[in-house]
């Protein structure tokens, strides 16, 4: 290929990809065009950031987030905080079956709990698909020390749901009181250490006298990391 032809082709490719990516309502035709457009935008974005200092993101105040959610939503509410990404958002309950509750954030991401134990996430890209928390839940809500197993399931790269089996030990801690959204919350601290082949994670809970989990920090998986759930309204 002669050099001018190369340049002409490269320019044409760039032009046609950017102009035409995403026209029309047929998703199947447009998906590859859109993919390259998104790829281009991503590359352009990271190129722009070269040499720039990373800007510290301002963390939203949990109290503000919680109190504004309480005004908008009259049902059960939780406050979600994802340690890996710094994402903080209120969770409103959209469905309940037995002890399983499905909660949605304003960004249409979802968390599923079973009597307060983390049982699933949806929309987070490395979602926790399901969890068998019944055994550990019994110990934690009863505020009893002991040993139980926990099974967490994620989708692997091939789309298969694969279980991770952890052995957990619970230890009971002190009585805790903390202020939040104008109330004082009382409960017992329960720490849970879960191990699976050389790896260990620590979950922590604050359990009220009636067995409700008021505040918890639970591990959702290797990529998901720790998730904090704080009760705003039961």
Positions in the binding site for another protein (CB under 8 A): 1, 5, 8-9, 12-13, 15-17, 20-33, 35, 38, 94-98, 100, 102, 104, 108-110, 112, 119-120, 122-127, 129-130, 132, 153-165, 196-197
User: What's the min distance (Å) between Cβ of 3 and another protein?
Assistant: 13
Specify whether the CB–CB gap between 206 and 218 falls below 8 A: no
Residue 200 Cα distances to 48, 49, 82, 203, 215, angstroms: 39, 36, 19, 10, 21
- Shorter beta-carbon distance to another protein: residue 118 or 190: 118
State the minimum distance, in angstroms, from the CB of residue 34 to another protein.
Answer: 8
Min dist CB 77 to another protein, Å, is 16
Cβ-based nearer residue to another protein, 179 or 198: 198
Record the tokens describing residue 183, joined without a space.
């109330």
Residue 55 or 125: which CB sits closer to another protein? Answer: 125
Range 105-109, long-range pairs (CB < 8 A, 24+ positions): 105/80
Decide: 106 and 123 in contact? Cβ < 8 Å: no
C-beta of 59 vs 197, nearer to another protein:
197
Query: What is the token pair recorded at 63?
Result: 């109290």
Nearest approach, Cβ of 114 to another protein (angstroms)?
9
* 3-class SS of residue 192: strand
Check residue 51 and give left, alpha or beta (phi > 0: left; psi -120 to 50: alpha): left
Nearer to another protein by Cβ, of 54 and 198: the residue is 198
Closest approach of Cβ 106 to another protein, in Å? Answer: 12
């Amino acid at each position: 290929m002669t050099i001018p032809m190369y340049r002409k082709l490269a320019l044409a490719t760039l032009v046609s990809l950017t102009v035409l990516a995403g026209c029309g309502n047929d998703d199947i035709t447009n998906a590859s065009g859109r993919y390259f457009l998104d790829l281009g935008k991503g590359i352009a974005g990271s190129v722009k950031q070269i040499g720039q200092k990373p800007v510290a993101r301002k963390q939203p105040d949990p109290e503000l987030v919680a109190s504004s959610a309480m005004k908008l939503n009259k049902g059960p509410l939780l406050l979600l905080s994802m340690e890996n990404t710094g994402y903080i958002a209120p969770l409103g309950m959209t469905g309940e079956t037995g002890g399983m509750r499905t909660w949605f954030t304003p960004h249409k991401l979802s968390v599923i709990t079973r009597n307060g134990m983390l049982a699933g996430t949806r929309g987070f890209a490395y979602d926790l698909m399901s969890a068998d928390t019944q055994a550990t839940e019994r110990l934690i809500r009863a505020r009893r020390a002991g040993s139980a197993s926990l099974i967490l399931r994620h989708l692997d790269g091939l789309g298969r749901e694969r279980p991770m089996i952890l052995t957990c030990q619970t230890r009971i801690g002190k009585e805790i009181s903390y202020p939040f959204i104008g109330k004082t919350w009382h409960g017992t601290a329960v720490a849970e250490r879960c191990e699976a082949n050389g790896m260990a994670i620590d979950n922590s809970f604050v359990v009220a006298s009636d067995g409700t989990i008021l505040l918890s920090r639970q591990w959702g998986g290797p990529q998901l990391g720790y998730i904090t759930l704080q009760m705003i309204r039961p």
